[in-house]
Structure 1
Amino acid sequence: MRLLILVNPNASGGEEAMPRLKERFDSEPDAELVAVETPDEMLNALDERGPEADRIVLGGGDGTISSMLPKLLKLKKPLGVLPLGTANDFARTLSLPEDPIEAVEVAIGPRTHLIDVGMVNDHPFINVASVGVASKVSELQSKDLKRSFRVLSYAMSFREAIRDAKPFSVSMTLDDHNHWRGMVHQVSVGNGRFHGGGLVVAEDAAIDDGKLHIYVVRPGTFLDLAASVASLKFGLGGERETLKRRAAETVRLTTSRPRHINIDGDIRSTTPAEFSVARRALEVAIPSELPPHQRGLVDVDESRASEESEV
């Protein structure tokens, strides 16, 4: 199997992982390990080397993988993931090991699975696309903050952003018939299960269920909003006055004026927004044996898993 491994050394865990990865792949004649420091370099490497590879392995954070989605969807090659970023929510959804070398064995292993990809205004995403406070959170996420506080950096930035946030009016239509209008601090539309360093989009959210899971953070007291964040952090079900959840296959969202859309941690579009699901659009490597209580994947053939684990 011809492997193309592209690693972002500027990711939170990239610099530390590179020597270990070089040692791991030195004896693999069909593996090409390339350090790529910018998105343009990674895109160029995918253009030049991707078509000849049997599998592509990307080492970096969620933003690295998300920014490569348009190219990956065109190449139609199985994807392996090395979680080297700050939050690694995509890896968490797939139940990937945190250790880079353990993640390598999954990334090049025998088991793959087709997952959904979210779409917003023709931009693909893997985790979540959000309007509102999340855009300010993205601005507050400095490299130093991410490196120093890692998964806690999102919660810290969220608390700072929402303190001075002003609610705004949104109108949503779910599946062309369910309409909702109201004042909000944030609307998040999830394709995966996790975002923001482990926040759970919805109790039943999975990245292969063919649905978008939506949550709305509405105005309230600081304590109410803190309780809503706690519900997201611990994956608690039900609703609160300040936290509403829905699920749909399509979402149409409008605001009184154009607002930034945070797509997997980066600002890439503005409202109005059209969301949809590209069903089973991306083939990814997953562990041969999934943890018994994982909930990021639901449409998995368990008999195939047991067969592969015996190989």
Structure 2
Amino acid sequence: MKDIIIIANPSSGKKQAEEYAAKAQSLFEDNQRQADVRITESEEDIVKYVKEASSNKYDTMILLGGDGTVSKAGESLKDEEYRPKIGIIPTGTINNIARGLGIATNIDQAVEDLVNCKEQITDVGMINDKLFLSSISAGSIPETVWEVSKDQKEKFGSLAYFIEGFKSLREEENYSIEMTIDGKEMKVDLTLLVIGLSNSVAGIPNFFNEATYDDGYLYLFGLKKSTLGEKISVMTSLLNDSEALSDEQNKGFVIPFKQGSFKNDHNLNVALDGEKGPCFPFDIKILPAFLTFLVPEN
């Protein structure tokens, strides 16, 4: 078994991956640990180096990148018998997976925390045959997520998503969704559907207030057709964990569940961990205790 492999995506977010890969390697060596560095040049390289980490049985795999990099790495481990522990140095735009795990989004702090960390066994989600580590969403607002260009991300950072999302509020469309949630059937018209694994969604802390990466549940948020004022009211109740959100007269609702199927008459794609994902219909379920991440000791 080898010790540590550092996989750095230089095209991610702040484009500082190579610099911090060298810093992390030096820090590990100062703590008597051997770290090999791999720099990716394409998405295919992420898959190649993750497979190398698995086949060579590296104890730990450190990922320098954003949500897309971490999600791709998790997906690449889906069918592997051996899955190394995963550390994250978040250099992306939103870094929602790191936020949900309690990993510092300050890059220097995240690097330092890797030498004083603990293991956290985490759940993942499965949509059709693909893993996801953060969230999936559907509706006019999520469509803007995967339409945000790399140039917009570099220029505006996380604000790029909110700029495009705000534009879509005036263009929202109502979708009729047929859902079977843990065996219970329901049909509802929604403008926004979000399914997440942790409390953090799109960089918003406490979006799903009670959710954790190891509780064995997925969490669904549905937003019905509503005015801008009603949307603000719903989101305020959601983020404040208000019991008013469960009132059927309100425009939004949250459901914890373990597996479900979703149908829609439109050829609607979901956003999957910030990228364009599969389209309706889809099946989704929780895979409990699937990966092990390194998180800060404190």
TM-score in same-fold range (> 0.5) = yes
The share of aligned pairs that are identical, in percent, is 22
How far residue 217 of structure 1 moved from its aligned partner, in angstroms, is 1.2
Q: Could you list the runs of 5+ residues in structure 1 that have no partner in the other structure?
A: 290-311
**2:41 maps to 1:3:** no
The alignment's TM-score, normalised by the length of structure 1, stands at 0.84
- Note closer, same or farther for the CA distance 1:18–1:246 as it changes in structure 2 (3 Å cut): same
Secondary structure at the counterpart of residue 267 of structure 1: strand
Asked if the contact 2:47/2:72 (under 8 Å) is kept, the reply is: no
Asked if the contact 1:3/1:57 (under 8 Å) is kept, the reply is: yes
**2:83 maps to 1:76:** yes
How far residue 26 of structure 1 moved from its aligned partner, in angstroms, is 3.9
Aligned match for 1:156, one of 147, 163, 177 = 163
Asked if the contact 1:152/1:197 (under 8 Å) is kept, the reply is: no
- Note closer, same or farther for the CA distance 1:47–1:24 as it changes in structure 2 (3 Å cut): closer
Aligned match for 1:30, one of 30, 34, 55 = 34
How far residue 230 of structure 1 moved from its aligned partner, in angstroms, is 4.6
Secondary structure at the counterpart of residue 197 of structure 1: coil
Secondary structure at the counterpart of residue 59 of structure 1: strand
Q: Could you list the runs of 5+ residues in structure 2 that have no partner in the other structure?
A: none
Match of 1:183? 189
- Note closer, same or farther for the CA distance 1:140–1:223 as it changes in structure 2 (3 Å cut): farther
Match of 2:131? 124
For 1:181-201, what per-residue CA distance to the aligned partner results, in whole angstroms no more than 9, with x for missing partners?
121111111112212122543
- Note closer, same or farther for the CA distance 1:163–1:140 as it changes in structure 2 (3 Å cut): farther
Asked if the contact 1:113/1:286 (under 8 Å) is kept, the reply is: yes
Match of 2:63? 58
For 1:153-211, what per-residue CA distance to the aligned partner results, in whole angstroms no more than 9, with x for missing partners?
3222221123212111011121112x221211111111122121225432211111111
* Stretch of structure 1 that moved more, 28-37 or 270-279: 28-37
Once residues 180 and 242 of structure 2 are traced to their aligned partners in structure 1, the CA distance between those partners, rounded to angstroms, is 23
Secondary structure at the counterpart of residue 101 of structure 1: helix
Paired letter, 2:12: A
Match of 2:262? 253
Paired letter, 1:128: S
Asked if the contact 2:194/2:222 (under 8 Å) is kept, the reply is: yes
Match of 1:203? 209
Match of 2:242? 237
The alignment's TM-score, normalised by the length of structure 2, stands at 0.88
**2:152 maps to 1:145:** yes
How far residue 212 of structure 1 moved from its aligned partner, in angstroms, is 0.9
